[in-house]
Chains A and B, each alone.
Chain A
Amino acid sequence: MSGRIKNVAEMRPGEVAIVSGFTDEHLSVKLMEMGCLPGTVVRFNFTAPFGDPICISISGYELSLRLEEASTISIVN
């Protein structure tokens, strides 16, 4: 893989990764409040029928978010 940082929007259903950071300061606070913290495991569950929004599992919660929101969550896996 190249050195580019991956994000949650690029994950596939069933894929698991670890949150490494955020690219949008404003959204990051809201995401963290909802339990999406750096270092936690994120699982990509499924997408809505039109491919957007998506559903992820994090900290034991199921969250739905839009692709553009998911793309602000950087991951490593």
Chain B
Amino acid sequence: MVSSRKLKIALVGNPNSGKSSLFNYLTGLNQKIGNFPGVTVEKKSGFCILPGNTAAEIIDLPGTYSIYPRSLDEQIVADVLLDHHSPATPDKVVVTVDATNVKRGFLLLSQIIDMGLPTILALNMMDLAAKAGINYDLNTLSKKLGIPVIPINARNGIGLDELKKAMSKPQAASEYPINPVWKELQKPIQELRDHLGIDNDYEAYQFLEQPQTLKFLGKDKQKVVDNIRNKYEFFPGKFQGAETIQRYSYIQNLLNEVTLKASDHSWKKNSTRLDRILLHKVWGYVIFFAILFLIFQSIFAWAQVPMDFIDSLFAKFSSYLISVLPSGPLSSLLAEGVVPGIGGILIFIPQIAILFAFISILEESGYMARVVFMMDKVMRKFGLNGKSVVPLMSGVACAIPAIMAARTIDNWKERTITILVTPLMSCSARLPVFTILIALIVPNQKALGFFNLQGLALMGLYLLGFVAAMVSAFVIKLLIRVKERSYLIMELPTYRIPKWSNVGYTIVEKTKAFVFEAGKIILAISIILWVLASYGPGDTLNNAEANVLEESKNLRLTEKGLADRIAAYKLEHSYAGIIGKGLEPVIKPLGYDWKIGIALITSFAAREVFVGTMATIYSIGSVSDSDTATIQQRLKAEVNPETGGPRFTPAVGFSLLVFYTFAMQCMSTLAIVYRETKGWKWPLIQLTYMTALAYLSALLVYQVLS
């Protein structure tokens, strides 16, 4: 029988201490991603059955070096562990420490023990420690620390049965603090404990040291804390330095007692040797850009087959539904609105899976830290992080996985800037728009004998997007003001072979997050857009067929030509058509007419829809044999009634190209930015600045060229 009271166990540890491996091993695929209440930090939790059939909820807290947070993500660790009287308070804390070098892990461990929750030490990577010749007296260690110490190897599951056993045993908090608070602090701490009934000294001390984490206390209690802090002249982190030094000296003494054999560092030889190549002045960058190129190519090339498969599957399913369901508004909503909408979400899965396979390999192997190391100097000038290179480069394939990849950036400001500028990188959905417009306005000629002009124009657009991204980053860097200081101070972990199951878990986690969280918004917007494009006021749309037949009875149209005209007529008289026409005064200075206006609206679903819409709308007014004409020929034949010349002059074409380079014409990107920033503030800022940039640039281009 599973007991009704579920045990809550929090996992805490340094980054690179193997905490995620342990979490994956304990919970398997029973993981879910949620949110910590009130903050944007992701909460990973899962279930695990412990000996005696108790189910335990395992909560994976962000990796941190100490209980004093360095970032918003790390703050959640203090938030969760300091709040001892909430239903979410963990019953136990498991601290993972890298056995190859325990010092830094023990700093965090000693703080957690002092916070007064029952704690277990999971000494991880025992295999590597053995290889390095390190040997500890674990019995003495356990006695000295006053907590269970379990040696494990989370990569292959060794020791996890013992760990689970220890997790299921009732355990009291350790009685004696490792680092008693100083004499001079005893008065304010006692005062606070008397007022608020806090369990122990160190917890009370943390309340005084870290007032920013105390939201869970509520206003009244926070005020009590503030009064005492003012009375005794506390400021955040006042004693942090002294505390750290004292804890490290305790740790040094402890290690002198329990270390039977210390490491001689020779086991790191291979890692050092690898760094000589991977961080080389020339080869370092050659290898890095080769890796980026490989990632980029794989998203482009490998994702295409499954994407086409998903695309055709949903198209077939949709037409199958149309053929079997009785015709009516509900059937067409299902077949033409909902099913393609879901297809439009699932189509991103191959790209997301491939990108995150690469990213988690880079992270797991320790290479990602080197990427930051190599790129920091360049990227920091633009307010970006060394890790921003990966999202920016992936953005050339698709902004959706790219923006999700920005989560690896710890600094909030750098991450936000990366998210804001990534959609300016020209993604693969812009390619169909670019190709058709370039073919229309740039002659297929060679310049200087071998440069294809059309190819040059395309490359120019990609460059334009990149430059815009960097310039925008620089401007946003000046605009966003934060107190958080940018610093690097980061570990370069020893290289390791990635654990493949962790790579798999990451892919599953990212895909789920996208489908279930961003997916909802994408589906909603795509249904709205579908309604706008297929319904119109009154019964004009119902009479479309009759009207078109009436208009074109002298034209001797083929069946397809007629169908095209009906589709165009419907689009023109739909709500989207009406909005497009209403938009005309606004977009006229850019050289666009209402037909382009309609395409701008429908292509908000995805940029490539522009091509399809243009094809439909321009079959209006085309001559009777036009059903064989390509979209390009139709566009070329289009006449501007005001000038009598062609509609698509170079000025209009370039204006459109620039517009599509800069505009946030993608609801899926908006949805994922909403999901990643947990609110509508940033997606709306992004939509506004990108649309303004697109509009003004397109205006400038048209006015200068025409």
Contacts and interface: CB of A to CB of B under 8 A. Distances in A.
A4 interface: no
B58 interface: no
Interface in A13-43: 25-35, 37-38
Interface in B251-279: 263, 265, 275, 279
Given A48-B376, A53-B373, A29 B491 contact: no
Interface residues of B, number: 38
Given A27-B489, A48-B373, A66-B487, 12 more contacts: A29-B68, A29-B244, A31-B489, A37-B244, A49-B280, A49-B374, A51-B377, A55-B279, A55-B373, A63-B489, A64-B489, A64-B492
Question: In the complex, which of the residues B68, B237, B492 has the most CB atoms of chain A within 10 Å of its own CB atom?
Answer: B492
B369 interface: yes
In order of increasing CB-CB distance, the 3 nearest A-B pairs are A62-B492, A49-B281, A32-B244
B487 A69 contact: yes
25 contacts: A29-B68, A29-B241, A30-B70, A32-B241, A32-B244, A33-B107, A35-B248, A37-B245, A48-B374, A49-B280, A52-B376, A52-B377, A53-B373, A55-B275, A60-B103, A60-B265, A61-B101, A62-B492, A64-B369, A64-B489, A65-B487, A65-B489, A65-B490, A66-B376, A69-B488
A55 B492 contact: yes
A48 B278 CA distance: 11
A27 B372 CA distance: 19
Interface in B350-402: 369, 372-374, 376-378
A40 to B, nearest CB: 9
Given A33-B68, A35-B103, A59-B103, A50 B488 contact: no
Interface in B529-555: none
Nearest to A57: B265
A51 B376 CA distance: 11
A37 B250 CA distance: 13
Nearest to B244: A32
B400 to A, nearest CB: 31
B689 interface: no
Contacts of B245: 32, 37-38
A28 B240 CA distance: 10
Interface of B: 65-66, 68, 70, 101, 103-104, 107, 237, 240-241, 244-245, 248, 263, 265, 275, 279-281, 284-285, 369, 372-374, 376-378, 485, 487-494
A55 B275 CA distance: 11
Contacts of A29: 68, 237, 240-241, 244
Contacts of B372: 64
B489 A69 contact: yes
Question: In the complex, which of the residues B275, B279, B280, B485 has the most CB atoms of chain A within 10 Å of its own CB atom?
Answer: B279
Contact of A49 (B104, B240, B265, B284): B284
Given A25-B241, A63-B492, A30 B373 contact: no
Contacts of B490: 63-65
A38 B241 CA distance: 11
A31 B490 CA distance: 10
A60 B263 contact: yes
Given A32-B241, A33-B104, A66 B488 contact: yes
Contact of B377 (A28, A48, A69): A48
Given A46-B279, A49-B285, A61-B104, A37 B265 contact: no
A19 B70 CA distance: 23
Contacts of A66: 376, 487-488
Contact of A65 (B374, B378, B488): B488
A48 B373 CA distance: 7
Contacts of B248: 32, 35, 37
A49 B369 CA distance: 15
